[in-house]
Chain A
Amino acid sequence: MPTFEYAPAPESRAIVTIEKSYGLFIDGAFTRPKATFATINPADETVLAEVSQAGPKDVDKAVAAARRAYEGVWGTMSGAERGKYLFRIARILQERAREFAVLETLDNGKPIKETRDVDVPTAAAHFFYHAGWADKLEYAGLSAGGAEAPRPHGVVGQVIPWNFPLLMLAWKIAPALATGNTVVLKPAETTPLSALLFAEVCQQADLPAGVVNIITGDGRTGQALVEHPDVDKVAFTGSTEVGKMIARSIAGTSKKATLELGGKAANIVFDDAPIDQAVEGIVSGIFFNQGQVCCAGSRLLVQENVHDQVIAKLKRRLGTLRVGDPMDKNSDLGAINSKAQLDRITALVEAGVAEGAERWSPECSLPAKGFWFPPTVLTGVSQTHRVATEEIFGPVLSVLTFRTPQEAVAKANNTAYGLSAGVWTEKGSRILWMADQLKAGVVWANTFNRFDPTSPFGGYKESGYGREGGRHGLEAYVTTAPATSSTQLTGATR
């Protein structure tokens, strides 16, 4: 029997130049590297570069630079002019797409086909989309009838996670700049490199100094940024645990905040679903980006009368997933981002098995070095198991069953989270009814994990508050409250 073996098809890493060490990007220039720590390639544990740990004084400098840029140039610039800068950044991202894709894959561990086909193009799309809003904010319906025109908050402190480093940066920076705010952004400790490359893009685009500042570091840097008294608004994407800390630390201040936190999404498959496409949706729902996605479809709720058929098809499909070198263009699954995350996934799966779930993985050989976890299906999971309630944030699917639409809704909503959900059925009326019942910020119908800058994204309950993307996403970055002297900058949004 002939078999179709795919020869290695590695993307070249020669396209991107990685410095030995990086400073911080403050006021339009890089500082000298100091107090550095290593960022590694999670696929083979080699050191990629040293980056600087920003201390409180660095945070002060970055926030001060952002304040100067806001008051001196960006806050008073016309919307049309701001839009030009955003369009320019978007085009540069497209031109340097391969460079970003390679760097992101090296630093994060996700497969090159995802950075190439999803992360980078979607990041560019966010800049294009928000560039278009920059001169139209007065017509975006952001002010209630007769209220003041929308104005920026001022300086925004942004802290982003490691699962989509560049894309989360784009989700944060594009709307902030479009609305006239200036930014201090801290990328995740384990994935700082694409943000530092983005700093180069800002220079290339001649973005005025201080409009975007990138400071690297661990949680202490993030905390110093969030708590800085001259930050007007905080935007955070990450774990619910850290989100709660941020909410506590800014309580009682005038800071605005949007928090996009964890999830435990239900992907609900009815017996009249297009089964083959549903299986694809289950796969992309939980194995896209190794399941390290806040809106991942980590709970499969499948109607009991098609459970066996769906699971059989799913297992066969998982047998064709290619796990391995993230730089190989044919890899479907790459490495887990860090040792800490791998340990967490391992521990939760063991807990699931101890509680009675049955564990299954397709045959796949994992590389000896690096952080790897095989695609895993847990069947026989009950609502009471930890793997049904806690966010695993890894390539692990928990399978539960239901009998009626009402039971599906009850189980889907029975979680502390509420970020996303998926519904698979050929019956349009049921899709609408389910979307109405599900307590989730995003409900996908006959698809999953689709992201578009025009569509708002955000959660219910412990999944956070505020929306990102779409017209709704602009709301978080503007105020229509009566102006105070410090924020009154005429023409800011025009």
Chain B
Amino acid sequence: MVTVSTTTRSAQELTAQARDVLGVSRLTNSALTSWLHGLPGVDQVGCEGRAAALGTRSIKTTSKAWAIDTAIGMIDLTTLEGADTVGKVRSLCAKALVPDALDPTTPRPAAICVYGDMVATAKAALGDSGIHVAAVATAFPSGRASMPVKLADTRDAVEAGADEIDMVIDRGAFLSGDYLTVFNQIAEVKQACGDTHLKVIMETGELVTYDNVRRASYLSMLAGGDFIKTSTGKVQPAATLPVTLIMLEAVRDWRELTGVQVGVKPAGGIKTTKDAIKYLVMVSEIAGDDWMTPQWFRFGASSLLNDLLLQRQKLATGAYSGADYVTID
């Protein structure tokens, strides 16, 4: 059972708190710009080098087994297709409930991630299993809709019983330097979420530079996001190790600055056990083991689960089985 705690915050409270963090009497776009552009820059070569170096850690035997189970428990098992049906979502929920029928000790993923209209279906299928239902909202994936539409989208999912909301930021506003709009939208969605957990998708593949990723991370945390998330999965590149490294540094430094802990969710393109372990190494060595639980770190993934299950079977039996020994859902 995953526990996530969040506080109900009004947009007004969030703005007041942001003024405190920035030390300004009025939260203006220019105040936000000075603050975000005053963050230390990121050297691309150094950042990518550090991520690559962490990727060479050798995780074997008992630590591998531990990492595999930990990673399974951190998955937001995802289906976000136009072709999603009730049947497809139920099948995915069944997989979450029993990831490996051959081994009942297999942990369950943290959540099922679906579009808003599938929340009720997923809730019904998962029952009181403790597996969360996360819904993407705010005109996912592009975010190109008016604020009332985004808020209605959010409320709709919350009312249907979503435990977590994955919103997208307005990348157009961010890239044009209109940070206040991005802030206000996140704060208003947070307010609409009530006590539902809010993940903020920055779509780092569209922000492109690491400086932008760092700024968007700080802006999302300032505006009340409980989690910062890399990608929708609909834009390439999606999650990468260096981008996640910047985000892990951001949540680490944010806690030092404000005392508030924020989670991180890389999503899209993480397909193998090897990849997942590299991410966990980074969580441990950059943010610290305080982030090493589903409460603070998630993988947004669909095919990753099966690779983890295959590797888990391999560790248990000493032999690789094959793709037909895990279920396609």
Which A residues are within 8 Å of any B CB, using their own CB?
Answer: 1-9, 113, 117, 272-277, 280-281, 320, 329-330, 426, 446-447
Contacts and interface: CB of A to CB of B under 8 A. Distances in A.
A214 B151 CA distance: 76
Nearest to B56: A113
Given A7-B59, A276-B46, A329-B58, 7 more contacts: A1-B290, A4-B280, A6-B59, A6-B63, A7-B63, A275-B40, A276-B42
Interface in B53-79: 56-64, 66-67, 70
A113 B56 CA distance: 8
Contact of B45 (A276, A330, A446): A446
Given A2-B289, A4-B280, A277 B59 contact: no
A6 to B, nearest CB: 5
A294 B64 CA distance: 38
The 9 closest A-B pairs by CB, nearest first: A277-B46, A9-B58, A329-B58, A274-B43, A4-B284, A277-B43, A275-B40, A7-B63, A3-B289
A330 B58 contact: yes
Contact of A277 (B42, B62, B70, B284): B42
A374 B96 CA distance: 46
Contacts of B43: 274, 277, 426, 446
Interface residues of B, number: 31
Contacts of A277: 42-43, 46-47, 50
A320 B45 CA distance: 21
Contacts of B114: none
A433 to B, nearest CB: 19
Interface string B255-282: 0000000000000000000000000110
Contact of B67 (A4, A9, A274): A4
Nearest to B73: A2
Interface SS majority for chain A:
loop
B13 interface: no
Interface string B299-314: 0000000000000000
B285 interface: yes
B57 A6 contact: yes
A3 B288 CA distance: 9
Given A4-B281, A7-B60, A276 B289 contact: no
A274 B46 contact: yes
Contacts of B42: 274, 276-277
Contact of B66 (A1, A4, A117): A4
A447 B45 contact: yes
A434 to B, nearest CB: 16
12 contacts: A1-B289, A1-B292, A4-B292, A6-B57, A7-B61, A9-B59, A117-B56, A274-B41, A274-B46, A329-B56, A330-B57, A447-B46
Nearest to A426: B41
A2 B40 contact: no
A221 B63 CA distance: 49
Contacts of B67: 4
Contacts of B58: 6, 9, 329-330
Contacts of B62: 5, 7
A273 B49 CA distance: 17
B17 interface: no
Nearest to B39: A275
A277 B284 CA distance: 18
B249 interface: yes
Nearest to B46: A277
A273 B66 CA distance: 38
Contacts of A320: 285
B293 interface: yes
Contacts of A2: 70, 289, 292-293
A315 to B, nearest CB: 13
A405 to B, nearest CB: 18
Interface in B5-59: 40-43, 45-47, 49-50, 56-59
A330 B285 CA distance: 12
A9 B60 CA distance: 7
A306 to B, nearest CB: 9
Contacts of B46: 274, 276-277, 280-281, 446-447
Contacts of B70: 2, 4
A274 B249 CA distance: 13
A273 B62 CA distance: 40
Q: Which of B43, B67, B249 has the most CB of A within 10 A?
A: B43
B50 A273 contact: no
B314 to A, nearest CB: 16
A203 to B, nearest CB: 33
Contacts of B60: 7-9
Contacts of A276: 40, 42, 46-47, 249
A79 B293 CA distance: 61
A32 B250 CA distance: 62
Contacts of B41: 272, 274, 426
A446 B44 CA distance: 10
B63 A5 contact: yes
Q: Which of B45, B57, B58, B66 has the most CB of A within 10 A?
A: B58
A155 B254 CA distance: 62
A277 B40 CA distance: 10
A97 to B, nearest CB: 15
Nearest to B293: A2
Interface string B98-124: 000000000000000000000000000
Contacts of B281: 4
A9 B63 CA distance: 10
A280 B66 contact: no
A105 to B, nearest CB: 14
Q: Which of A1, A7, A281, A426 has the most CB of B within 10 A?
A: A7
Q: Which of B49, B67, B293 has the most CB of A within 10 A?
A: B49
Contacts of B61: 7
Contacts of B40: 272-276
B45 A3 contact: no
Contacts of B284: 3-4
B305 to A, nearest CB: 20
A280 B40 CA distance: 14
Contacts of A5: 62-63, 66
A281 B49 CA distance: 11
Q: Which of B46, B47, B60 has the most CB of A within 10 A?
A: B46
A113 B285 CA distance: 17
A477 B185 CA distance: 67
A419 B116 CA distance: 62
A101 to B, nearest CB: 13
A139 to B, nearest CB: 32
A273 B39 CA distance: 10
Contacts of A274: 40-43, 46
Nearest to A1: B289
A446 B58 CA distance: 28
Contacts of A281: 46
Interface string B137-173: 0000000000000000000000000000000000000
